[in-house]
Structure 1
Amino acid sequence: MIYEWLKNIVFVWPENFILLGLIPFLIARYIRNERNHKAALLTSAVNVNTPSTFKTNFRHLPFVLRILALICLIMALARPQHQTDQTHAEGEGIDIVLCMDVSASMLTNDIKPSRFQVAKEVAAEFVKSRPVDRIGLVIFGGESFTKCPITSDKNTLLTQLQSLKIKDGGYLADGTLIGEGLAMAVNRVSKGSSKSRVVILLTDGKEEAPVTRIIDPYTATEIAKAENVKVYCIGLGSTEFMIEQVVKDNAGNTVRNDIDETLLTRIASETGGKYFRATDKASLQAIYSEIDQLEKSKVEIIRYKEIEEMFIPFVLLALGLLFIELLLRFTIFKTFP
């Protein structure tokens, strides 16, 4: 911590450090004067040793204090400053909702360690790369749920994203209701104030419609079009797992591995978005990077420097040292003619 603080210290007038060259001359002069002031008369005595006292042991202390005071004054003349560079991002952002599939098939480990874990990690990277956007999170399985409303508080969103679990603690039913997940995401993003509204829908399956389904994917697409919401769709799963294939998740449960690319392509194209297929983590990162480029925010990075003048402490320290020197010189180290 001290090192981080010290490395931000700069000297505005470093040329004044040339005055430090006076120090060796002052020391040499002091030594010469000390030798000249020694007694020249030799006398005999029984005890030739001078008694050791505080005054004799520390007789050079006033001079040392004076030299330290001079060094402090020279450092003050060099005008030390503590400078901290600050940045602040401002601009016109985009309202985005991440609509993520949390059905059991997302635990499939064809993408290590699992599709679900990779989807969370890459989504978190995307959130961090959008400093001025408001972003929310909607999850869906056999039903949909708003995990985080659109917000500019990235820390809250990242916390919700990182704590996300399949079935989200047990209150989302099994299944893959893409339509209801999309409809809820559109509803959330349409409440925002931004002119640009985007939903990024990620799934590894296809619509599984129980009798209790309320909104189908085509109706949800029409709602997105009416609200002027652009939808980017991502189908997640490696090419080793073919469409319509039955696979096992990490828990050993049998799940279907169907990616309805026809449906996802239609949703994306009708809303002005684009469909992507991610087969591994690298391709998923590339997809989010492309979306990041397609949906650019107007960001203005403001840089400013916080400056704190530090010469006053050096001046005060020099005055304190000079005061102690004078106090010692006229008390403990006082000499008589």
Structure 2
Amino acid sequence: MIFAHPDILWFLLLVPLLGAWRWWRSRNEAGLRFSDVGPARTASPSWRVRLRVVPDLLKLAALAIGIVALARPQERDVVRTRNAEGIDIMLVLDTSTSMRAEDFRPNRFEAARDVASEFIDGRVSDRVGLVVFAAKAYTQAPLTLDYDFLQEMLDEVRVGVIQDGTAIGTALAMAVNRLKRTEAESKVVILLTDGQNNRGEIDPITASEVAQAMDVRVYAIGVGSKGTAPFIIDQPFVGQQRQMLPVEIDEDMLRTVAQNTGGRYFRATSKRALRDIYDEIGELEKSEIDERIYTDVEERYPTFLIPAFGLLLLGTLLQSTALRRFP
């Protein structure tokens, strides 16, 4: 319950003050004069005398309840309706062995997967799918609103499962193909890679032209520090070794791919920077939500006003009849 005019409730502070003033006045009212009141002092008071304060208490209660009624107590039933125009988003994740580089913590792949998971958690009404690639590309999860399923599919992605290589064009074309029959007004590909296109049958620029024709916007992210980075190299006889190798990202190609489709290219040199990039993409590709609020107000002041009148009437009636004072 709320009040339409809550400031009126401050007048409730006057009720005890009025009661104290009324009590003081009754104690100091002049009565009839008698030559000797000794016998009256020893007489026990009648029930009328004991109850003569009741009319004043009833009137004070009526005043307090009346003030509450004047504040207009209400019950409000608020209903919110939301209609969201979702976006279709395909995440394209590089799983080549170079993603094991440890210039991110714990490595590029784990950092990219963690941030992608956070991005999925932030979606509300967008369908999201996942394509993974190395020398070949595969659809790990189709477009879906089942984010729990998508998170499970993302958790199952591993580096080294697909033959090594970097087929950026093939992966981009596969993601665009997944979006071509959707009815969403906004279609987006978020392409993340740390290398150069060296495998696959489709050139990335050609794939971007197909994306442009299908009105698919591509955001490309190059992952890797500047200069050199510690890479994990599989040696046939000694196993895995850590070596400092140059970071080679084809930024010009990625920038062209993004610009061809009306998207943007980003360079992430740390996990925090990668998280900021995904946040920025999330702001750029935010679903339009139409929210309407319906408020049903039901006045409750009669619930208080009627008892207030009843108490006032009862107090006046008692004061004029059974509890009437003389003189």
Length-normalised TM-score, structure 2: 0.62
Q: Which runs of 5+ in 1 are unaligned?
A: 1-5, 51-55
2:220 paired residue number: 233
1:53 paired residue number: none
Q: CA deviation at 1:199?
A: 1.0
Q: In the alignment, is the contact (CA less than 8 A) between 1:144 and 1:177 conserved in 2?
A: no
Q: Which runs of 5+ in 2 are unaligned?
A: 45-49
1:284 aligned residue (274, 277, 288):
274
Q: CA deviation at 1:231?
A: 1.9
2:132 paired residue number: 140
The letter of the residue matching 1:277 is R
1:168 aligned residue (151, 157, 161):
157
Alignment of 1:1-337 (within 5 A): 9-12=2-5, 14-15=7-8, 18=11, 21=14, 24-30=17-23, 32-33=25-26, 41-42=37-38, 67-81=60-74, 94-102=87-95, 106=99, 108-112=101-105, 114-116=107-109, 118-119=111-112, 122-123=115-116, 134-142=126-134, 143-147=137-141, 149=143, 151=145, 156-157=146-147, 159=148, 165-168=154-157, 173=162, 175=164, 177-206=167-196, 209=199, 216-218=202-204, 220-221=207-208, 223-239=210-226, 241-242=228-229, 246-247=231-232, 259-261=249-251, 263-288=253-278, 291=281, 299=288, 302=291, 304=293, 306=295, 308-309=297-298, 311-312=299-300, 315-316=302-303
Query: In angstroms, what is the RMSD of aligned CA positions?
Result: 5.4
Q: Deviations over 1:146-178 (max 9, x none)?
A: 435155xxxx43x45655655438996464554
Q: Secondary structure at the match of 2:128?
A: strand
Kindly tell me: are residues 304 and 233 of structure 1, through their superposed partners in 2, closer, same or farther at Cα, counting changes over 3 Å? Answer: same
Q: In the alignment, is the contact (CA less than 8 A) between 1:205 and 1:259 conserved in 2?
A: yes
Q: Deviations over 1:103-154 (max 9, x none)?
A: 56556553345545554565567668877x7341213145523435155xxx
Equivalent pairs: percent with the same residue?
A: 33
Which of 95-104 and 317-326 deviates more?
A: 317-326
The letter of the residue matching 1:144 is Y
Q: How many residues align?
A: 304
CA distance in structure 1 between the aligned counterparts of 2:18 and 2:188, rounded to whole angstroms: 73
Q: In the alignment, is the contact (CA less than 8 A) between 2:224 and 2:270 conserved in 1?
A: yes
CA distance in structure 1 between the aligned counterparts of 2:9 and 2:155, rounded to whole angstroms: 66
Q: CA deviation at 1:284?
A: 2.9
Q: In the alignment, is the contact (CA less than 8 A) between 1:232 and 1:273 conserved in 2?
A: yes
Q: In the alignment, is the contact (CA less than 8 A) between 1:183 and 1:223 conserved in 2?
A: yes
Q: In the alignment, is the contact (CA less than 8 A) between 2:172 and 2:207 conserved in 1?
A: yes
Q: Secondary structure at the match of 2:183?
A: coil
1:3 paired residue number: none
2:47 paired residue number: none
